[in-house]
């Protein structure tokens, strides 16, 4: 091994993902991502399970996070909404290519309070609100024209005043039980640290790349 290789490996060893509170580390990484990602730093892959156990995944947007977990909003009658309600656990993946980092999150899911869903729905643009009312998300659609016609009808019914949140539109919060942080490293000697929730905190360990 050359002196240069030894120096590079020593540098890698001195810059491990830190131990401690994974939610604080997430906040730090997320803040960096908001400055470096060109589009949607809050985009995350959401994995659920179909009734037969097959995996099901799609991209959604993180709308809030904190000590309780990671919150997103959706039509509960969509495929993902129905899968969540049938099996209240899921997994998330954040991938920030600009930072060469990713975070995996696994845990239980609970539905947010109606008041929280009302508050967030009211904060959305009017076009997004009308789209939520008009869409039978994940259901078969005969043509694009049919969808646009439904939006026109919904718009005509709500020309003035606030747009009510439909009962099927809600939010879900994933409470993390396991989090894994990954950083790209030269020579594919990537850095991985896994955090598992315990009764009174978190236990963490490094993983082989």
* Sequence-separated (6 or more) residues with CB below 8 Å from residue 175: 68, 69, 107, 108, 109, 110
* Sequence-separated (6 or more) residues with CB below 8 Å from residue 193: 16, 17, 19, 180, 181, 204, 205, 206, 207
* Sequence-separated (6 or more) residues with CB below 8 Å from residue 200: none
**In whole angstroms, what is the distance from residue 88 CA to residue 171 CA?**
13
Residues marked as catalytic: 188
Beta bridge partners of 72: 172
């Amino acid at each position: 091994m050359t002196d240069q290789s030894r120096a590079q490996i020593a540098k890698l060893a001195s810059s491990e993902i830190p131990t401690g509170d994974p939610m604080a580390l997430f906040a730090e990484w997320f803040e960096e991502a908001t400055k470096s990602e060109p589009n949607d730093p809050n985009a995350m892959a959401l994995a659920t399970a179909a009734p037969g156990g097959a995996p099901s995944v799609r991209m959604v947007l993180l709308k809030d996070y904190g000590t309780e977990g990671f919150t997103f909003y959706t039509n509960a009658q969509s495929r993902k909404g129905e899968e969540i309600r049938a099996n209240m656990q899921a997994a998330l993946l954040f991938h920030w290519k600009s930072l060469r980092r990713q975070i995996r999150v696994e845990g239980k899911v609970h539905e947010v309070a109606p008041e929280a869903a009302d508050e967030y729905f009211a904060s959305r643009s009017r076009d997004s609100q009308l789209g939520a009312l008009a869409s039978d998300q994940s259901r078969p659609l005969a043509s694009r024209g049919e969808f646009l016609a439904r939006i026109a009808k919904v718009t005509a019914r709500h020309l003035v005043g606030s747009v009510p949140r439909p009962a099927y539109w809600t939010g879900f919060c994933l409470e993390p039980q396991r989090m894994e942080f990954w950083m790209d490293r030269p020579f594919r000697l990537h850095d991985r640290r896994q955090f598992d929730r315990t009764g009174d905190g978190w236990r963490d360990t490094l993983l082989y790349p």
